[in-house]
Structure 1
Amino acid sequence: MDHIVRLDSRQEAALQAIADKFIAQHQGDAVKALKEMIVLNGHLQERLDTVEGSRRVRG
């Protein structure tokens, strides 16, 4: 892991609420929700890598 994120109690509560909603969208199946989150994060990482790669080529 490259970066550790520290949250204050307000941020932690907001993150928990979002996580609860995401799991509820998957009928309460936390494993199913986690799998979808991994896939979504993979897509986002690919897009970030593409953007970073194009910045290196230009810059």
Structure 2
Amino acid sequence: MSHIIRLDSRQEAALQGVAESFIAQHNGDAVKALKEMIVLNGHLQERLDALNTPRKAGR
């Protein structure tokens, strides 16, 4: 991990609620939800990387 994020109790509670909702969308299967989250994050990271890649001159 490149850096650590610290949450206050309010942020932690909000994150917990979102996590529980996401797992519920996967019929309570936490592993399935985690796998989907990993795939989604991979797609988002690819898009961010593409935005941050310097474009070739002349385009």
Tell me whether the two structures share a fold, i.e. TM-score over 0.5: yes
2:41 alignment partner in structure 1: 41
Query: How many residues get paired?
Result: 56
Unaligned runs of 5+ in 1: none
- Shift in Å, 1:28: 0.1
Write the distance in 2 (CA, Å) between the matches of 1:31 and 1:8.
26
- Aligned partners of 1:52 and 1:6: how far apart in 2? 26
Percent identity of equivalent pairs: 75
Q: Structure 2: which 5+ residue stretches go unaligned?
A: none
Corresponding residue for 1:12?
12
Aligned to 2:50: 50
Which runs of structure 1 show a deviation greater than 3 angstroms over 4 or more consecutive aligned residues?
none
Give the helix-richer structure, 1 or 2: 1
TM (normalized to structure 1)?
0.90
Question: Which of the pair has more CA radius of gyration?
Answer: 2
Question: CA RMSD of the aligned region, Å?
Answer: 1.1
TM normalised by structure 2 equals 0.90
